[in-house]
Chain A
Amino acid sequence: MPGAVEKESELSERIEAFVARLKRGGERLSSEEAARQTVGLLRKIIGHGRWGSAGELMALIRKEGKRMTAAQPSETTVGNMVRRVLKIIREEYGRLHGRSEESDQQESLHKLLTSGGLSEDFNTPYPPLRANVIEAISELLIELEGTTDNIAMQALEHIHSNEVIMTIGYSRTVEAFLKEAARKRKFHVIVAECAPFCQGHEMAVRLSKEEIETTVMSDAAIFAVMSRVNKVIIGTKTILANGALIAVSGTHTLALAAKHHSTPLIVCAPMFKLSPQFPNEEDSFYKFVSPQEVLPFTEGEILSKINVHCPVFDYVPPELITLFISNIGGNAPSYIYRLMSELYHPDDHEL
């Protein structure tokens, strides 16, 4: 089958290119795009890869998934999507295997405890599995496309007239959320510029184009201005398993200031950002980039005498967060564990 070989090599080339792109910092790849591309690639692997049973397929997905996640550990959506696909395979297999949906879900603590012994084997080959899995993945892709709209739709429930809202940096989700609210209500947005990359400037420009009253301020003014603010709405890179955030650096400051003033902190994040990892498992969440923005290379002599760091992300503990707004509705941080078990299979947490 020369055609298959060719397809396979083309596939591995595409995976290689995706991994290389992730390694090179993604060229400002948005999380949504990363999620879509990952799912798209996985669908191709399922479609063209050589596998006989669900077990083999899962091993294949795990192997490729591991490579993709390792390429850029801070891009957690890639790993999340791999886990989602694994979960889909499990479900489809279970359905073909003749198990009802009910029994598949792990409900009680008792079941969780006892399920360890009952690990099923995925070795029975089912010919329709491939088609079923691909169909389910296509549904997942459609779901991904609608996430931002789903979140924006809830805007009117949270933003009221004449409120003062603070945000930090640039987030596509928050931008859509605020724009949706602005269609009906008038409110004032204060954007912390989020040095050293100052994505806040871009956010402010985009918001003011929609005729939203916008103010940009430096990060140092967050605490001072917080007393005037009614609500803080931010985006995030990742939601961790304990309900904490890995968000753009400066967010922790913002969250602490909000807590001090008892201002509600709302996080807009699609479900694909939910990662089953816990903090402090490894330091790979922290992403340090070139110190150029903090102290430019042109500074000369001083650079050999000092160390400059430029972290991209902050860890924001769950107790500082009031509410998550995701594409499936609003949830408190304490509820994250439940969403987790719906989205991912516990066996897949470790790829």
Chain B
Amino acid sequence: MMAARGSGRRGAGSGEARGPDPQEEPPPPLQAVLVADSFNRRFFPVSKDRPRVLLPLANVVMIDYTLEFLTATGVEETFVFCCWKSSEIKEHLHKSKWCRRTSPNKVRIVTSDLYRSLGDVLRDVDAKSLVRSDFLLVSGDVVSNINVSAALEEHRMRRKLDKNVSVMTMIFKESSPGHRARCQEDDIILAMDSTTNRVLHYQRTQELKRFRFPMSLFQSNIETVEVRHDLLDCHISICSPQVAELFTDNFDYQTRDDFVRGLLVNEEVLGNQIHMHVTAEEYGARVSNLLMYEAVCSDIIRRWVYPMTPEMNFTDDETQSYTHSKHNIYRGAEVSLGHGSVLDENVLIGQGTVIGSNCSITNSVIGQNCKIGDEVILDGAFLWNGVHVADHVEIRQSIVCDEAEVKEKVKLNPHCVLTSQVVVGPNITLLEGTVISLHSPDEEEEDDDEFSDDSGVNKEENKVKLKGYNKAEVGSEGRGYLWKADDENEADEEEQRQNLWGPTLNPEEESETESDLSLGSEQPDSRTASPQLDDIKVFQNEVLGTLQRGEEENISCDNLVLEINSLKYAYNIGLKEVMQVLSKVVMEFPLQQLDTELDPQHYCVMLIPLLKKWSPVFKNYIKRASDHLDALSAIEEFFLEHDGLHTSIAKVLMTFYQLEILAEEMILFWFSQRDTSDKGRQLRKNQQLQKFIQWLKEAEEESSEGDQD
């Protein structure tokens, strides 16, 4: 159906366009903006030594996956924006194949220490006017084999047809809830128009059990609205240059979420739309925390990202050549495996690694030049380059970074992290979720205000060894500090673990306590949610305050409208909610003044002058038919809550009618609505109200008769 409509319109459009250029212009070379900084500290303290985009994922650094994805999909020019440890990223890129002359994808590196968010980067893109047409926006930790050409084609077609209304196409991958590559932190729920693929509502789930969608979604004239929770956000978006401009115009946009929410909320005002593209077969995921790191790594080993598999060696690095054999065993050059050692399945071993005898290794990644002793058990272990593991060690689902050392008879329980050059052991068992780093956790407090991955690492050289290592934590020969909020309470510990690994997906771990804790604990970014109930409450209080001041200081109605409007934007409230809140606040106003429950007569006496005074405010908001109904339902709600005042409803409505705030046909329509509660029906049986309605009907008949004459 969409195709038919689209082609019809295209036919009309191309008729005009055919005159100047008969042949379609070839699309300009595709550009991409790659943000090589996460602007958060999810990988702390791992990212203290190395920027996140240079962390190895199946022995290849993350940014190489992203660049390969961009190149494979046909991008010809990529701008890499670096902030934290930009020199290291630069050095890596200069050495890589992306900066060779023959590379089909020209990589340009832009560095600045001033970037604090994605918003800053895009504002810079706009300021330097780097992009000429539609571009891809990705972060440096996206692993994907998606071919975006289909999505790009759709995007360009939409922009051609609807005159630049659609500014962005987000790419999603279908994956059912509970998939290991769906971490709860990034989990989203969205509403879309299924005929045009337009995004109507976008929200992070944030472990909420209930969701609220604005009613307007379903009341608008969109034929079918789909609410989807089976999508994985690939964090790949096709943006038009307008996106960068919009970031400049709205200097408070920090993240892509801000942008998406901003656009969706102000859709009527700005007239911009966001669309989406769903892929079922290709792979795309963002490594946003260690849980995702684990999931994406094992997906690479299990060949989900084909053709980006380890043995393809897409980076053209000679030290990265692997052979692939059955059960997904990848071996680099010069790997030695001791007698009796078993590589079970899904194992990747880097060049020059030596493994002792009688080891059992499964679902693990081992970097280059590692030394592994005898009778070692590795299950779900991620060892980076140059790791030394002594005899009788057991490592499960943990990450051991560059040149760390694990001494004899150490046991690492799941979700442990040993950062660069840490030494642990011998004879020690690390509890689940232990994080050990050479950087003391205390260093970090000073620069807590920084948003980026970074912090003043240079300073730390002076401060090293202010404090001795705790032998009980890291073993008698150990080196490193335990990273935990000093066992203050369980909640902190939970938060710490959550910070590194992200919330787990296993249903058995999702106990009541955990969800309580995570809800109670501070959300990493409270702005990520779409408008929520709380906002409306706060808004209501603010409106009340405004009106009170207006009453006391006799502020003119125009100014009141202005204030309410600014509040509306500040709290992201829709017009409809404004209507309801305003009606409610005004109706409750007399009650607020006197605190006691009033009798109906007294109430009317107090309310009517207020209504008269503020009628311009109402008139400003009540314009369309639906506004009238919203106001009426708010009034009804108020009277349902205050039984004692039932009798005054007729008088109040009469006043509204006389002030020409509410139209008679709307009042009649409201009255005749059938789908009301029992209480509502009771309210409608009110004698005075009946009389008022009767009167209205007669008046209408008279006027219509008059018209006929």
Contact = CB atoms under 8 A, between A and B. Distances in A.
Interface of A: 9, 12-13, 16-17, 20, 23-25, 70, 282-284, 286, 288-292, 296-301, 303-304, 307-310
Contacts of B302: 291, 307-308
B228 to A, nearest CB: 12
B306 A290 contact: yes
Nearest to A296: B280
A59 to B, nearest CB: 19
Given A20-B104, A298-B280, A25 B179 contact: no
Contacts of B537: none
A292 B281 contact: yes
Identify the interface centre among A17, A24, A284: most chain B CB within 10 Å of its CB: A24
Contacts of B178: 300-301
Contacts of A309: 328
Contacts of A288: 303, 306, 324, 328
Contacts of B72: 20, 24
Contact of A289 (B230, B280, B306): B306
Contacts of B295: 304
Given A9-B102, A296-B280, A307-B346, A23 B324 contact: no
Interface in B78-112: 100-104
* 10 closest residue pairs by CB, A with B: A300-B176, A290-B306, A301-B178, A304-B180, A16-B102, A25-B307, A283-B325, A300-B179, A13-B102, A300-B178
Interface string B293-323: 0010000001111110001111000000101
A12 B164 CA distance: 40
B163 interface: no
Interface size class of B (residues with CB under 8 A): 35 or more
- Interface residues of A: mostly helix, strand, loop or mixed? helix
A298 B230 contact: yes
Nearest to B73: A24
Nearest to B307: A25
A327 to B, nearest CB: 31
Given A9-B101, A25-B306, A300-B176, A290 B283 contact: yes
B155 interface: no
A23 B176 contact: no
A284 B305 CA distance: 18
A286 B328 CA distance: 11
B360 interface: no
A301 B179 contact: yes
Given A297-B175, A300-B179, A301-B178, 16 more contacts: A13-B101, A20-B71, A283-B326, A284-B323, A286-B326, A288-B324, A290-B305, A291-B304, A297-B281, A298-B176, A298-B179, A300-B177, A301-B176, A301-B179, A301-B180, A304-B295
22 contacts: A13-B102, A16-B100, A20-B71, A23-B307, A23-B313, A24-B307, A25-B307, A70-B313, A70-B321, A284-B311, A289-B303, A289-B307, A291-B304, A292-B283, A292-B304, A297-B174, A297-B281, A298-B175, A300-B177, A301-B176, A304-B179, A307-B345
Most chain B C-beta atoms within 10 Å of own C-beta, residue among A9, A282, A290, A308: A290
A304 B311 CA distance: 22
Interface string B170-200: 0001111111100000000000000000000
Nearest to B232: A297
A310 B281 CA distance: 14
A300 B174 CA distance: 10
Contacts of B303: 288-291, 310
Contacts of B280: 296-298
Nearest to B363: A307
Interface of B: 71-72, 100-104, 145, 173-180, 230, 280-281, 283, 295, 302-307, 311-314, 321, 323-328, 345-346
A283 B324 contact: yes
A310 B173 CA distance: 20
Contacts of A300: 175-179
Contacts of B305: 290
Contact of B312 (A23, A286, A290, A303): A23
Contacts of A298: 174-176, 179, 230, 280
Contacts of A24: 72, 307
Nearest to A306: B302
Contacts of A283: 323-326
Contacts of B174: 297-298
A290 B304 contact: yes
A36 B93 CA distance: 34
A113 to B, nearest CB: 33
A25 B72 CA distance: 11
Nearest to A282: B323
B699 to A, nearest CB: 61
A305 B362 CA distance: 13
A213 B192 CA distance: 46
A50 B179 CA distance: 55
A210 B326 CA distance: 41
Contacts of B180: 301, 303-304
A307 B327 contact: yes
Residue from B102, B104, B295 having most chain A Cβ neighbours under 10 A? B102
A42 to B, nearest CB: 18
Contacts of B145: 290
Contacts of A13: 101-102
Contacts of A286: 324, 326
Contacts of A291: 302-304
A58 B349 CA distance: 34
A24 B280 CA distance: 19
Contacts of A301: 176, 178-180
Contacts of B283: 290, 292, 297
Contacts of A296: 280-281
A301 B504 CA distance: 13
A111 B323 CA distance: 37
Nearest to B100: A16
Contacts of A16: 100, 102-104
B77 to A, nearest CB: 16
B346 A303 contact: no
Nearest to A71: B312
A288 B305 CA distance: 11
Contact of A23 (B102, B175, B314): B314
A244 B175 CA distance: 40
Contacts of B71: 20
B641 to A, nearest CB: 45
A15 to B, nearest CB: 8
A20 B321 CA distance: 15
B418 to A, nearest CB: 24
A291 to B, nearest CB: 7
Contacts of A290: 145, 283, 303-306
B82 to A, nearest CB: 25
Contacts of B306: 25, 288-290
A210 B458 CA distance: 74
Contacts of A303: 179-180
